[in-house]
Structure 1
Amino acid sequence: MSPPDFSALDAVGLNLQAVFNLAELPAPLRERVLHATCPQAGFQQLILIGNAGPALWRALCADDIDGDDPIDAFSVREVNRWFEQRHPGRTQHRLYPGNAPVNLQQLGQHAGWHHDSPFKVGIQAELGTWFAYRVALLTNTTLRTTTPLRTRSPCRDCADTPCITTCPADAMAGGGFALDACIDYRQQPGSRCADTCVARLACPVGEARRYDTAQIRHVYSNSLRMIRHYRATQA
């Protein structure tokens, strides 16, 4: 199998990549992935692509891309360009972004990127929480697969738990994560978490990879809009 060349994706900040053989995925995860497409399509591999740190946002801003979700639009465009250039004649089916019921967190755990954190954002020892899943493809490529990372969750060695103690909503004070408390606080007038997450910022892991302030504001402003829309439809 040929080694994958992801340099074009690295150049635009899509700097996390993993290649899996479908046949080697854990059975529940494989079945869920294959359920999203025609089993006769001949796909052999799954390519998971993400970003770590602020490079993707900076590349997007330099490109001046627009739209309802510029991060998704930019990521899909760049991945499509990369695939067409590096794998002409091969086929792909995009699972994410899209409506396929693929569990990105499970794929990330399989790649060794993702551990759970108290505030329910994936965390990794080197990157902290400053990474995200951007594109997942089924392909008929024959690339060399990625060796999963084997790292210990940094939360297991955290004694001070600043994410818990600084959370203005006390969403983790009960030993779990109280989603309703988080959401209710974010919607309050003057909320400190309207366009950020105080708990996430308090985590020292991977601080050098932290997103730019504008990216954090973009992500959390979008999520708050979705929360308000959902709550309005449920009223």
Structure 2
Amino acid sequence: MTYSLNHYYQVLGLEPGASLEDINQAYKDLAFIWHPDRLPQDNPRLIEKAAARLKEINHARDMLRSQAPTAAVPVSQPASRSTPSPSPSRPPATPRSQPTNPYRPGRSYRRPDMRDMQGADLRGANLRERDLSGRNLKNANLMGANLRDGFLHGIDLEGANLRQANLFRANLLRANLRNADLAGANLVGADFSGADLSGANLKGALVGGSGDRWLVKLTGAILTGAILPDGRQCA
């Protein structure tokens, strides 16, 4: 069945003409609420209903994103006949080469377009509240990156460098963090439900609370061989 764009705005609870940033934020909020992994696994009827709702939310987001305006690429105009030619004694300046890494540290990334970002250099990158769910970031360097409130469901961060990264309230449901380095990272309020943290280094990570009480959600998480914040290693 074909729907109008207004229908997709309604699915995400938005007014027609909402910005791409509003679309992404609305999707993230609704996906967090309706994801089946957050529901009791002994209630198949509820899980089926949530999965159908999430599918509708995903479709609405994709349809609205495809209609989002993109910046026009300027077209170079031919030089006017009155434009003087460069002096023979002064050759035209050579344009500066552009950085080959599109993920330069310090930049803000609204919507990474590449799903495969394996080995990317994202040191110090501002990825706050971004949706990186399902991305391949194996062995990526995210040292000191800001991932606060990020939606990272199912992300692959195996072997990634997340030292000193800010993962405050990040959603890492079913993420792959095998052998990842999270030493000194801020994990307060993060949700690692169902995540694989086997062999990960959490030494010195901020987890809130006191003693063995962490302000981190680890329901169903795998911690085999992981180094805990106090330096102990899980069996």
TM-score (norm 1): 0.27
Relative contact order higher in (CA < 8 Å, ≥ 6 apart): 1
TM-score (norm 2): 0.27
- Pick the structure with more strand per residue: 1
